[in-house]
Amino acid sequence: MSTHGAGTTRERIDALLARRAELVAPEDSRAVRRQRENGKLTARERVEALLDPGSFTELDALARHRTHDFAMDRHRPAGDGIVVGHGTVDGRRVCLYAYDFTVLGGSLGEVNGGKIVKLMDLALRIGAPVIGINDSGGARVQEGVVSLARYGELIKRHVEASGVVPQISLMVGPCAGGAVYGPAITDFVVMVDGISNMQVTGAEVMRTVTGQEVDPEELGGAHRNSAVSGNSHYLARDEKDAFEYVRLLLGYLPSNNTADPPVYAATEDPGPRPADLALDAVIPDGRNQPYDMTEVVRTVLDGGELLEVQPLFARNIVCGFGRVDGHSVGVVANQPAFMAGVLDIDASEKAARFIRLCDAFHIPVVTFVDVPGFLPSLEQERHGIIRRGAKLIYAYAEATVPMVTVVTRKAYGGGYGVMGSKHLGTDVNLAWPTAEIAVMGGDSAVTLLHRRELAAADDPEAERERLRAEYEQQLCNPYIAADRGYVDAVIVPSETRREIADALAALRGKRVDRLPRKHGNIPL
């Protein structure tokens, strides 16, 4: 009588090798052909493209679903439609999972969902980043509520891992319904133009329920999620571009919240370079004339390298990663080239979440300020600019990492207070001579304070100009703030790179004690 596993050692090894061979779908399979016709890689190809060559160790490769209803018992592929394991990116350990759309549409059920749960538990034990490669038809209908339960368990793991290990979601296919909330909780969402789709309600359901005809790409396409809703942090041209962005991103992040980000050898000349000297002329003579703040930011960062986060969303503020003297920094900067750098709901939420991410993973925050204030708008007020703008104030005030702020030009009203001011706990505040730090600009102040004088003047325009110059000389300059200690130094713009590097070096051992509490209550 034969028994399971009987045979010689060689026979058992041959059986295992044959079993492993079954895991890789043949190149001529219909599902794989359809995947490639849609311009998509298979799950295993994606794992190989992202990780260092030969570094992947697969886990639970032989797991199969246990469902015996709806003819599911006739198709029980090993792996159950998901590839999970760990490997390295630039020599650093990461845990990852990749949905396999060629197997049961990449649907999530009890067994393959359990594989992800196990992987995330492992990631927390070893302190490794988690990368999810999402290409899934959603919950496995044949498994009913069990599949929904797995989604809940996964989301619970994402919450537990938040702020403990970096979490990155790569969207390389469809993701709809409750499945979107797992990626939404992760730190970064990367979508691929043309093949990614993410929405709570699909176009078919939208038409059935509301009668609206909605284009799927307009509803949940990669560009809309990246530029309009802000659900995505990067819009990749193709899968290769997406993998490269993730690899670059990991290079700025620590493996977990008890480690420091990677440090690279400093290669920048400490002395002034031509690019530094160019900063002395970067501010236009016209106070309302735009300029590109990223030119200032890149001058300060090693190699001029800035990896932007959400570059297409809320373009009036810039968030991204770079290095100063080889150490990772997070950059937050008003962008005068778009909407004059004004703060609105989207900009506030974008910057607040980025600052909290930096704070969770020991990444110093460098802020560049040129802000006329919050956007005056009935629509903004109706949509909660008070509550939602307060998130940015909260994020700065809560952060304990080293923080350095540079005011380049305007810093008016609430915009001054919220953008990394000394009063919120920023360690070093610098200002250029062109900085205008005041409750409001000269023109607005003159209109508010001298309405009667202007009405009675023989030449109102000349009187307005005189009063404006007087106001700016007395109140609208960086020296008043420096006199009070709200600005630590007024510096020549070409000295900015060195001043920031020196400040961050001095702050590297910063320690902050907080009052004991479970957690704060940020105005969500």
User: Which domains are seen in the chain, by residue range?
Assistant: 41-252 (3.90.226.10), 280-439+477-506 (3.90.226.10), 442-475 (no CATH)
Model confidence at 473: pLDDT above 90: no
Give start and end residues of each alpha helix (H) in 383-492: 385-398, 413-418, 442-449, 451-456, 460-474, 478-484
251, 351 Cβ separation under 8 angstroms: no
Highest mean pLDDT (candidates 153-157, 177-181, 463-467): 153-157
Q: Please tell me which residue, 195 or 445, carries the higher pLDDT value.
A: 195
Report the Cα 289 to chain-centroid distance in Å.
Answer: 29
Model confidence at 28: pLDDT above 50: no
186, 166 Cβ separation under 8 angstroms: no
pLDDT confidence of residue 394:
97
pLDDT confidence of residue 89:
98
Identify the band that residue 146 occupies on the pLDDT scale cut at 50, 70 and 90. Answer: confident
Q: Please list, residue by residue across 297-316, b when 16 or more beta carbons sit within 10 angstroms of its beta carbon and e when fewer do.
A: bbbbbbeeebbbbbbbbbbb
Model confidence at 103: pLDDT above 90: no
393, 522 Cβ separation under 8 angstroms: no
Identify the band that residue 170 occupies on the pLDDT scale cut at 50, 70 and 90. Answer: very high
Q: Residues 380-429: pLDDT tens digits?
A: 999 999 999 999 999 999 999 999 999 999 999 889 999 999 999 999 99
pLDDT confidence of residue 70:
52
Q: Please tell me which residue, 507 or 472, carries the higher pLDDT value.
A: 507
Model confidence at 239: pLDDT above 80: yes
pLDDT confidence of residue 30:
76
Helix (H, G, I), strand (E, B), or coil: what is residue 106? helix
Model confidence at 289: pLDDT above 70: yes
Model confidence at 179: pLDDT above 90: no
Q: Please list, residue by residue across 32-64, b when 16 or more beta carbons sit within 10 angstroms of its beta carbon and e when fewer do.
A: beebeeeebbbbbebbbebbeeebbebebbebe
pLDDT confidence of residue 335:
98
Pairing of strands 436-438, 167-171: unpaired
Q: What is the mean pLDDT of residues 197-206?
A: 81
Model confidence at 26: pLDDT above 50: no
Mean pLDDT of the chain: 88
